[in-house]
A and B are shown apart, each in its own frame.
Chain A
């Protein structure tokens, strides 16, 4: 009975298991430790952004500027490192930078009530081109040696990155379920006016969620940047699509109010695995995007179909109790 509330999550999980089984049968080497580690590491930044995106979508908004914010934070992290900012100070500074960009979105959407899709579309272009102008397209090179892998060495840092991503996911998942603020997020996304009448301040909730989105994007950018010897100025292109897709495939309603972070984890895993899986099975990885698109559509269609089923089932349920009451 409880599981029935998480139908979408369960069906995404089943699809993921089916994918793993199929790949496992066709190419058992897929499950090699090295490959799994690479998969986790490559998808950790996307997962972090998808956590923020889940919050944004739960309140009924969207943020398509995350890719550009990600690039700004990546380059800023590189610059600061080169300027001699100690590695421990990088984290709060990059988080703050991300949060500020998020706060700008949040103020425009939450307080000025501008449509988030347009606001963040403008930001997507504005941050990206501002960065291009400032960097003149140049990558940040000659980073100090303690920048890469935080100076911790590759093995330890890899665990750290994956661990932080999963830890953030678990922490936010707990907060959404167990804190009043989490309730406020769901209430705002379900019916902002009803939430307001219950004493919640939807504007503040929307603002806060965008700030978190920005901070998580900053975190993702930093964890991603330390993996390489140079920071590209065009990082994060298409990141918004990956994040939104993970959230939607994970069962969240794009209209807000419904979804879980466990679903987002499954969605990110499913979409993040497809490309590598294709390579292992010997299919041209050019198909990756097409298949991802098909999965997103399938998720939306099954949503509608399940909705129909749900209404029928609930109708039956009410009838039954009405009879029992007599």
Chain B
């Protein structure tokens, strides 16, 4: 462990539009080490990686590469300093050959430079051999399998003399055999002194491949430990060891009948399968899971955005077919999408038109749209939800994130839904707006709405839900009652660990 430090990030801070993604993140990477970086969704892993690769610039803190402080990082600077990143989805140009793809990262000729095809192909073959890949350099990259593409990317990084290699969930979609192959490549790179940051949600593979591990939580580095000194339970506790200090406005509500029921629901297009779940009137069911576990995909299937091809959806006990969002809305389902900036509201439209967009029949008469009624509605909802705006006729684009979210929510409340699906309802919005939205959810439940809430924030899940459904690998693996749900249990299930182990985790709690 006396190897030289390749990369040192100290107390990095970064905020996006007022939301602090990194509060104090530190990471130290040595030559010839595989350093695991773990944390929940939103813990700041991606942002830290982006700071290191120069994709975003940090607000504060220090980044050193091989002892030199990097002041103005950019993707180009990072590349010249020998940093390369390989993401879960390979980023090769599918229309170009393997050799061309590798050359893109390596050759330094300017726009007028001549291409030496022969040496390019030979070089590509050498690099591919180094990662143990038997791939014809003349094939189109788009024709390769995922694992092959990954190896080509690694070869490209080697060709560019990468000393720091960042692997972002490289095994997420690999088979067992491909994973072992990749591990062999990683080991041989380690021998050669390459330092690797290894991001993974598969905790079970860390002891096999990683030397040290750094845990991030809420934008802070919690600790860096030798992999041989920690076990899985300890890692999970470090990931979730957050205080449940925030007070959630949760109220006991008399539960009514089952409103939404999913039986063996599957959707091949989006990879969700065998979903059994029900939500009763007045109930808030939290849908927990990692990014990619299929939560949004499930919501989209219920809302008619992707076709359901097995199982059934029942509303108040009756099987229904939902072919489009319009059909879902007619049946009383509302869906507040993730990423409101893109699709939750129409930014160019005024607040009023945004709110009435899914309920135009309510303001339509024989004489066209009733603008006075629309103004009344807009006034009512902006008051009720506390939307802070200079006037109701301004475009939604001029509002802050939290206020945009309230407008998006207003639209769905106006449809008087019996089922309300909320996808990350408070992600990226300020604390005040957040608790207002939580209070509103409680009110809605009290009025008898069945609420299904997707969230990546464990405290929110535990604080607001009557039951917690945990998804992993495209299906609901467990449904916990409010009283039984703990951060450790939910996270362990989300990571794909089985129930027996989960109880072990719970007992190991201090």
Interface residues of A (CB under 8 A from B): 174-175, 177-180, 183, 186-187, 190-191, 193-201, 257-258, 314, 317-318, 320-321, 325
Q: What 0/1 pattern do residues 309 to 332 of B give for CB contact below 8 A with A?
A: 000000000000000111011000
Verify A187–B346 contact, CB threshold 8 A: yes
Residue from the list B329, B345, B360, B367 in contact with A194, Cβ < 8 A = B345
**B residues less than 8 Å from A258 (CB atoms):** 348
**B residues less than 8 Å from A195 (CB atoms):** 346, 357
Most A CB within 10 A of own CB, among B345, B346, B349: B346
Q: Tell me the minimal C-beta distance from A175 to chain B in angstroms.
A: 8
Verify A178–B347 contact, CB threshold 8 A: no
**B residues less than 8 Å from A199 (CB atoms):** 325-326, 328-329, 357-358
Taking CB as reference atom, which chain A residue is nearest B361?
A: A180
Q: Tell me the minimal C-beta distance from B422 to chain A in angstroms.
A: 13
Interface residues of chain A: helix, strand, loop or mixed (majority):
helix
Q: Tell me the minimal C-beta distance from B414 to chain A in angstroms.
A: 11
Q: Is B509 an interface residue (CB 8 A)?
A: no
Q: Is B353 an interface residue (CB 8 A)?
A: yes
Verify A314–B398 contact, CB threshold 8 A: yes
**A residues less than 8 Å from B328 (CB atoms):** 199
**B residues less than 8 Å from A179 (CB atoms):** 364, 368-369
Verify A201–B388 contact, CB threshold 8 A: no
Q: Tell me the minimal C-beta distance from B301 to chain A in angstroms.
A: 14
The stretch of B140-148, B213-221, B269-277, B335-343 in contact with A is B335-343
Verify B388–A193 contact, CB threshold 8 A: no
**B residues less than 8 Å from A196 (CB atoms):** 305, 325
Q: Tell me the minimal C-beta distance from A201 to chain B in angstroms.
A: 6
Verify A178–B390 contact, CB threshold 8 A: no
Q: Is B14 an interface residue (CB 8 A)?
A: no
Known: A191-B343, A194-B343, A317-B398. A178 touches B368 (CB 8 A): yes
Q: Is B344 an interface residue (CB 8 A)?
A: yes
Q: Given the complex of chains A and B, what is the CA–CA distance between A194 and B346 in angstroms?
A: 6
Taking CB as reference atom, which chain B residue is nearest A175?
A: B368
Q: Given the complex of chains A and B, what is the CA–CA distance between A282 and B60 in angstroms?
A: 67
Verify A190–B357 contact, CB threshold 8 A: no
Verify A178–B369 contact, CB threshold 8 A: yes
The 9 closest A-B CB pairs, nearest first, are: A178-B368, A180-B360, A199-B329, A194-B343, A199-B326, A198-B357, A321-B390, A198-B358, A190-B348
Verify A190–B368 contact, CB threshold 8 A: no
Q: Given the complex of chains A and B, what is the CA–CA distance between A179 and B388 in angstroms?
A: 28
Verify A200–B357 contact, CB threshold 8 A: yes
Most B CB within 10 A of own CB, among A178, A186, A197, A200: A197
Q: Tell me the minimal C-beta distance from B324 to chain A in angstroms.
A: 7
Q: Tell me the minimal C-beta distance from B374 to chain A in angstroms.
A: 10
Taking CB as reference atom, which chain A residue is nearest B398?
A: A314
Q: Tell me the minimal C-beta distance from B179 to chain A in angstroms.
A: 35
Q: Given the complex of chains A and B, what is the CA–CA distance between A214 and B456 in angstroms?
A: 49
Interface pairs (11), CB distance under 8 Å? A175-B368, A179-B369, A186-B349, A187-B357, A191-B342, A191-B347, A194-B343, A194-B346, A197-B337, A199-B326, A201-B326
